[in-house]
Amino acid sequence: MSQLQEVYIVSAVRTPVGKAPRGIFRTVRPDDLLTHVIKESLNQVPELDKNLVEDVIVGCAMPEAEQGMNVARIGALLADLPDHVAGMTINRFCSSGLQSIAIANDRIRLGAADVMIAGGTESMSMVPMGGYHLSANPNYFTENEKHVAIAFGMGITAEIVAQKYNVTREQQDEFAFNSHQKALKAQAAGDLKAEISPYTMTLNLPEPEKMQIQQRQLQVLQDEGPRKDTSIEALAKLRPVFSVKGSVTAGNSSQMSDGAAACVLVSEKILKQFNLKPLAQLKSFSVAGVPPEVMGIGPVKAIPKALQLANVKLDEIEWIELNEAFAAQSLAVIKEAQLNPEIVNPVGSAIALGHPLGATGAIRTATIIHGMRQRKQKYGMVTMCIGTGMGAAGVFEVFN
């Protein structure tokens, strides 16, 4: 048996994130977004021979239609990688992007590969939540409905978490407001530029006077989600959207979004051979299950496992990317997992920056790597809840 290899992330890049279903990327295909980040992830390491890439692993929560047909392989081919580079699309819902990095990391660590690309892509503008043909198994509703929670919408589970963990509407709105404020501050300071690769769109605009179509280029430079016009007062006026007497609103929930991200991972042998600069290492990854009706609490179970595997204590973590599926579950996780709120989502998260489902884990990985490098921090964690009752967490060591 071969000796375990050290694995390094040598590039991490993401697109700006657009709002769905009527945002800037509403007409941009998710496989094109993926193609872009695959190319850009390799462009960040020009010394590396792309012929050495073994496989491309891509997370996607709704892998059908424009992001079907094994979108990982499609993206690899459209990015002009050699034909021998394989592709695999994986789905663990909201953790798919992080899961793809963990799988690529393990393949290299076990000696099965030396160079891998991992990431995620999702268009919630083109492929609706649940896909085009959602078909719930009738057995969810049999045997005294003991499995009925599998069919619960995510918003209903957020309402249950809010009630169970005593998270008030006021706390949720304040949390959401702060997410936007942190994101706006980060944008203004240019803190997100290192992780974002601008995306150039070609627009076909009609010119009726000339009876012709004019092509114009539009470069998207930053995330579309953060709102300067929001306030706690404005958020407080929004009606609950999942339960008449509930507290979860569109304003304190994550945004539906479009986006993609990719990382290049290499073995220590490749790192030395091409004199590459390591950005980070994934020290551990864990997943855990919880009852489906409280799916948002999943990180509480996954975080201790990830810390133990990494041999890192919670108080050594300096930056936590806790995906804000809902303010209710984020606040519950912070409380139950005893996280320091001062280091959770320093630049905002899904409520402000968006949540393109299967891409989010890879996007948040790009955020934490570049953000911690700017701050010269060492240990960080990406964690999220997952539909049907799961949580995931990954611990990263970042190099400055």
Q: Give the active site residues.
A: 94, 355, 385
CA dist 104 and 196 (Å) reads: 22
Can you read off the two tokens belonging to residue 35?
A: 């193609």
- Listed in sequence order, the residues at least 6 apart from 133 whose beta carbon sits closer than 8 Å to its beta carbon are none
Is 41 within 8 Å of 263 (Cβ atoms)? yes
Q: In the numeric block, which tokens belong to residue 16?
A: 């700006």
* C-alpha span between 206 and 198 (Å, rounded): 25
Q: Which residues contact 390 (CB under 8 A, 6 or more apart)?
A: 92, 93, 95, 287, 288, 289, 290, 295, 298, 302
CA dihedral sign of residues 245, 351, 56, 371:
negative
363, 351 in Cβ contact below 8 A? Answer: no
Q: State the DSSP string of 202-262.
A: EEEEEETTTTEEEEEEEEE-S-S---TT--HHHHHTSPBSS-TT---BSTTBPPBEEEEEE
Q: How buried is residue 144: exposed, middle or buried, by Cβ count under 10 Å (0-12/13-18/19+)? A: exposed
Amino acid of residue 31: D
320, 300 contact by CB (below 8 A)? no
Using alpha carbons, list the distances in angstroms from residue 328 to 38, 204, 332, 342: 34, 42, 6, 17
Count, residues in the chain: 400
